[in-house]
Structure 1
């Protein structure tokens, strides 16, 4: 698959912020916020929106079940071609095992969130499935980098994210990654942020979830309520 400048990705329906209505292929976005702030739900919403538009959807889950993650994306989609849905399950008991489910979706098993080579192979297989289906657009979600940081040092996770960003660019996909801001020190967060094109910050004020975007303009956007 090759990158194309003829289209962009529009995330403004889920995230009404300046700059998110026309993301170029290859853009990688880090979503940060406290634990249980709704970051994962946001990523599933974004993937479900893409699948509804016949884009490929790839979930890399480091702390959940791959099949359940695929089902969650499907539940967010108005329509879905299950053959375009893939998950890389990083908490499986087996390693490098690919399972095609009855609905046509695929789950690739990896034994640990620190098995970066195996995770990369699973993502490559998901890209190949899309290419074989003549699908040139897609969205990848990784939840959560915080789990990876518990298994590997911050520099190793940064390198993984940097390489994956390059592969997203080659495929013409976009990627969104979550990180729990209350689980790491500022230095760790600062190092990992450098691997991404933009950052969506989420916070909660008086029971209301709010978000803002950094990196897509000269200044951060204003904080706005998130539904």
Structure 2
């Protein structure tokens, strides 16, 4: 893989591990108003993704993201797989073969915009957008200040976690959850929580890599 491709592949692998380590938590959250399969579906999707990354060691950064998107779309059931897959597919078209602050920001911004477009949810609708949108905004702000990738990912992950936690008091307005209940559940949205877990894993991986250099 290219140097940038390796960096992105490390993040993708870290995100897969972050989700896998908390699959029971995601299952419990999704069981509140959903089928309870969000965590299991994510694990299946990332298993496909990792197999694709292991099978091709010549990938560039855009190709790593494209493989991630394709794997998630093809191996995850339901709307979450489509939306997360589209996040990475569109992000792959928004970047060059680089791993820097501007590229990380572009991935978050372009991917989030695609999820908003495809899913129809906005901030406050109790969805993964509640975690993604503030993370993307913070990344964009910090990129303009010239900070490192590690700092951007750490701050983006913090914003994603705050956004995910905020969904506990929100009423679902889109998707299956909106049809299942018209009140807040007192528990964070599973989709938003999975985004927070992925970005936290990215931040931890980049912090570790930077420390080891």
TM over 0.5: no
Structure (1 or 2) with the greater strand fraction: 1
Question: Which one has more relative contact order, counting CA pairs under 8 Å at least 6 apart?
Answer: 1
Could you state the TM-score of these two structures normalised by the residue count of structure 1? 0.32
Which structure has the highest helix share of the two? 2
